[in-house]
Amino acid sequence: MNASPIPPCRIATERLVLRPTNVSDAERAFEIQSDWEVTRMLRMVSFPPDGAEISHWFADHEREWMAGEAYRFAVELQDRLIGIVDVDGISGREGELGYWFERASWGRGYALEAAQAVVQFAFSRIGLSKLRSGHAADNPASGKVLRKLGFRPLDSVRAVSRSRGQEIMQQRYSLLTPNHCQTSRESGVG
Ligand SMILES: CC(C)(COP(=O)(O)OP(=O)(O)OC[C@H]1O[C@@H](n2cnc3c(N)ncnc32)[C@H](O)[C@@H]1OP(=O)(O)O)[C@@H](O)C(=O)NCCC(=O)NCCS
């Protein structure tokens, strides 16, 4: 793990630019989350979206980054924010990968391209050795992205979806860094 703060950085992929989020992204995020097809797949956010809550969330991102608690990237295509990819829930050498994109940009491989860059950032810059992620059982597109990233399905659990206001089945996954030394528990031995 990196002991000192990671300086805020931009990542350029073939088609996209990823940069640390900031409070001025809140308005665009509100716009994207106003689409039920996006927000129904996000377990922790409300629908309709709450502008004040979103602003408050973005306002804390710089502090989270410097504290090593979470690293959140705005994904830009030709200077337009089309989605967010983040690693949060960091504890020890583990963290959780999340992402959401505006509907207009789905189906062009942007989520995979951006998430690949963030997975690499998580292992090589943050120094994590394991990432967790998950998706609602009725979100096969997200499952495809996770599998292409190399995530392995773990199990399926009941979880509360705030946006839907009901319980859903959540498929959980994990990804170990290629040089991770598996403990007996992770490998299912013992
Ligand atoms: C999930 C999400 C990020 C995917 O974004 P994207 O940019 O379209 O992703 P990609 O284009 O990289 O890949 C999507 C894959 O799913 C496939 N897919 C799309 N809809 C699908 C469906 N209904 N069933 C099966 N596969 C589907 C696509 O064909 C593509 O696979 P391919 O590359 O083999 O063709 C986007 O749909 C989204 O933001 N959804 C709402 C929020 C969300 O679900 N976030 C994740 C929460 S777990």
pLDDT (0 to 100) of residue 104:
98
Q: What's the gap in Å between 22 CA and the centre of ligand 1?
A: 25
Q: Domains in the chain, ordered, with CATH?
A: 11-176 (3.40.630.30)
Distance 9 CA to ligand 1 centre (A): 26
Ligand 1 pocket check for 21: Cβ under 6 Å: no
The pLDDT, as a whole number, for residue 178 is: 76
Distance 71 CA to ligand 1 centre (A): 22
For residue 94, how far is its CA from the centre of ligand 1 (angstroms)?
24
Nearest CA to ligand 1 atom 44: 41
Query: Quick one: which H or E segment has residue 98?
Result: strand 94-101
Instruction: For residues 66-89, give the mean pLDDT.
Output: 98
Supply the pTM of this predicted model: 0.94
Give residue-wise pLDDT tens across range 126-157. 999 999 999 999 999 999 999 999 999 999 99
Q: Does the CB atom of residue 138 touch ligand 1 within 6 A?
A: no
- Please name the residue whose Cα sits nearest to atom 33 of ligand 1: 109
Which whole-number Å values give the CA distances from 11 to 106, 130, 131, 135, 173, in the listed order? 20, 21, 19, 25, 25
pLDDT tens for residues 92-139? 999 999 999 999 999 999 999 999 999 999 999 999 999 999 999 999
CA–CA separation, 71 and 186 (whole Å):
25
